[in-house]
Amino acid sequence: MTVRLHWFLPTGGDGRTLVDRHAYTDGGVRRSRITPVSGVRAPDIDYLTQIAKAAEQLGFEAVLTPTGTWCEDAWLTTAALAQHTERLKFLVAFRPGVISPVLAAQMASTYQRITRGRLLLNVVTGGDSTEQRRFGDHLDHDRRYARTAEFLEVVRGVWGGRPYDFDGEHYSVDGGLTALPPDPHPEIFFGGSSAAAGPVAAEHADVYLTWGEPPEQVKEKIAWIRGSAEERGRTVRFGIRLHTISRDSAREAWATADRLLDDLDADTIAAAQEALGRSESVGQQRMRALHGGSRDQLEISPNLWAGVGLVRGGAGTALVGSHADVADRIEEYHALGIEHFVFSGYPHLEEAYWFGEGVTPLLAERGLLPQVPASPLLGVPAANGRPASAPGGAPLLMAGGR
């Protein structure tokens, strides 16, 4: 089993800071700032295209596109970006509670034909009732997972190429059909740490995706889902969602992490933690427990830094260190059974190059990747210990500025 590398599309905004929508009076919709925060970038299509092209050139298999109030729509954004890329796949996140499963199956089928098979699906059940109600979803936490199970059963049913009937608690379908089923069927990524989520993953997921917890906790999750899937006669593969700060030396990497932390004052952290504390997501609560809202002892496992989770929901940890350090940690998770690694970093354009030029070759040398992708920057010299210039000769902006 080799490692499969993916990157992230920041459709809610990007920058050289962990402070994103917290810096705006309107949550980032119109980009009206509360206080001046330098280096914050709007998620316009030109910038997202730069990231998508960089990810493709650096050998990432796919990019994850998030879903939620503060993000651009994942389906529409990635369909547009597919026209600017050739091989890159798109891991489209969406909430099953706000769309018909038959329509979602049809959309996926159309997407596969338009992009020639470059769709992956990330099913996000949702762990925040306030966010769910904003989209008209009023089910409680456990019933949302029960609905997700039915949703995925219907999606796979109507991909069968003949009329499909279903009568459940949440969906009733008569003769559901995608006239032209997707070829291939998109892989379904799914995450959830609660007792209600486990059976859904075991029964319906192709890839179970966890946030970046310490290896021992990840090992326990893998055993849980793998055992439950085996009871159902299924095999589930595993992925992990992490940020990354990789540099030529560990000292440089940790200095970058410290600069990101310097942007966060006590009030910003307290406000973010209060909001995140209201989440019903068990995974989110596990993320919060890693740091307890404190700046102290944020390296919770070798090279695993919980600083991101002080102000941001979702994935709250980063692999921090030299390129070799980060490769070591990837190898450690891989030995546990992790195949898919979904990475991100601030800013996403620059961090893609740091990782792609620093860590990816080491993974290939260790036999964890089938080959090193041909770099578009071959022959372009590095300067002052920095990565080589971006395509076209434009120098890369450095992460960590404020």
What is the distance between the alpha carbons of residues 121 and 92, in angstroms, rounded to a whole number? 5
Q: What Å distances lie between residue 132 and 121, 180, 256, 299, 300, CA to CA? A: 19, 31, 35, 33, 31
Q: What is the pLDDT of residue 174?
A: 97
Map tokens 């910003």 to a residue: 268
Report residue 400's pLDDT band, with 50, 70 and 90 as the boundaries: very low
Answer yes or no: is pLDDT of 389 > 60.
no
Please tell me what DSSP assigns to residue 344.
Answer: E
What is the distance between the alpha carbons of residues 20 and 261, in angstroms, rounded to a whole number? 13
Q: Could you read off the pLDDT of 319-341 as tens digits, one per residue?
A: 999 999 999 999 999 999 999 99
Percentage of residues in the chain with pLDDT exceeding 90? 68
Pairing state between β 14-15 and 40-41: antiparallel
Q: Could you read off the pLDDT of 338-377 as tens digits, one per residue?
A: 999 999 999 999 999 999 999 999 999 999 998 655 544 4
Q: What is the pLDDT of residue 372?
A: 53
The whole-model pTM stands at 0.88
Answer yes or no: is pLDDT of 1 > 60.
yes
Question: Would you report the helix, strand and coil content of the chain in percent, each value rounded to 5?
Answer: 40, 20, 40
Q: What is the pLDDT of residue 397?
A: 30
